[in-house]
Amino acid sequence: VIPAVGFTENFDGMCLPSTYTPSSRTLPICWSYINECTNSSYMYYPTMYYYSYTNYANSTPNSLRFYSVYNSYTNYDPQPQYAILPEMSGLAGMQVTLMARGQNAQSTFKIGTMSDPTDASTFSMIAEQELTTSYPEEAFAYIIPATCTDSYLAIMIDAANSSRTTNGVYIDDIVISEARTCFKPTELAVTANSITSDGAIITWTPGGDETN
């Protein structure tokens, strides 16, 4: 069991060749997974990946990749996938930040906690995150409920289906820290042509009452 506060993972501690394929699953030490897919091409996700040719890692070279595909003409057997962090103490009330991007504009992931890393039914969702095909300027941030008694943090994707035939997600730069008491604003912008010698019109999306 490791303390939650101060935990970081950027998936770069293991050297992966550029030709790496999911013939075997590779995850950081003490991580675990759930994926009940039986198709040999997709049963090995989630896994760490190395990409040298594009920005699939926010901090190069590695990221954590989920990938689920549905095809009505073949037995792909897509299933939900869970990447489960090591057992931790003191998760309650902590803040989790991470970088993520989707393989396509329909990609999403869920973050939550688990009491049993072998039992998907114990997954308790904190948030579901919609993604674009690029990493955001600032990390996504989530607060673990102060009432949480679970010992495992988990990231999951729903299985692809006939409505969303591909769900691919890349995760990078996970950090667990003490929760902020003041949330910074986002989408800071200066109105065009408003800058004068006296000032400018500035707008933002508040992070909470303290930044209204």
In this model, does residue 114 exceed pLDDT 70?
A: yes
pLDDT tens digits for 24-53?
789 999 999 999 999 888 899 999 988 766
In this model, does residue 164 exceed pLDDT 80?
A: yes
> What per-residue confidence (pLDDT) applies to 23?
65
- Taking the C-alpha atoms of residue 110 and residue 147, their distance in angstroms, rounded to an integer, is 19
In this model, does residue 55 exceed pLDDT 90?
A: no
**What is the chain's mean pLDDT, rounded?**
91
Confidence category of residue 197, pLDDT binned at 50, 70, 90: confident
Mean pLDDT value of segment 76-85:
95
> What per-residue confidence (pLDDT) applies to 119?
98
Q: Which residues pair with 108 in a beta bridge?
A: 130
pTM: 0.86
> What per-residue confidence (pLDDT) applies to 131?
96
> E strand or H helix at 142, and its extent?
strand 140-143
More confident position, 88 or 38? 88
Q: Is 92 helix (H, G, I), strand (E, B) or coil?
A: coil
> What per-residue confidence (pLDDT) applies to 21?
67
> What per-residue confidence (pLDDT) applies to 176?
98
> What per-residue confidence (pLDDT) applies to 116?
98
- Taking the C-alpha atoms of residue 196 and residue 81, their distance in angstroms, rounded to an integer, is 53
Region for 198 from its dihedrals, namely left if φ exceeds 0, alpha if ψ lies in -120 to 50, beta otherwise: alpha
Q: Is 63 helix (H, G, I), strand (E, B) or coil?
A: strand
In this model, does residue 162 exceed pLDDT 80?
A: yes
> What per-residue confidence (pLDDT) applies to 154?
98
The residue written with tokens 């999951």 in the block is: 156
The residue written with tokens 């901090």 in the block is: 59
- Please check whether residue 12 is in contact with residue 58, taking contact to mean a CB–CB distance below 8 angstroms: no
In this model, does residue 205 exceed pLDDT 80?
A: yes
Mean pLDDT value of segment 135-148:
95
Residue 30: CB partners within 8 Å, gap ≥ 6?
Answer: 2, 86, 87
Q: CA angle at residue 159 from 78 to 48, to 5 degrees?
A: 85
In this model, does residue 61 exceed pLDDT 80?
A: yes
In this model, does residue 57 exceed pLDDT 80?
A: yes
Mean pLDDT value of segment 14-33:
84
Backbone φ and ψ of 110, nearest 5°:
-120, 145
More confident position, 128 or 74? 128
**Measuring CA to CA, how many Å separate 3 from each of 34, 97, 123, 159, 191?**
23, 16, 20, 31, 44
| Percentage of the chain lying above the pLDDT 70 cut | 96
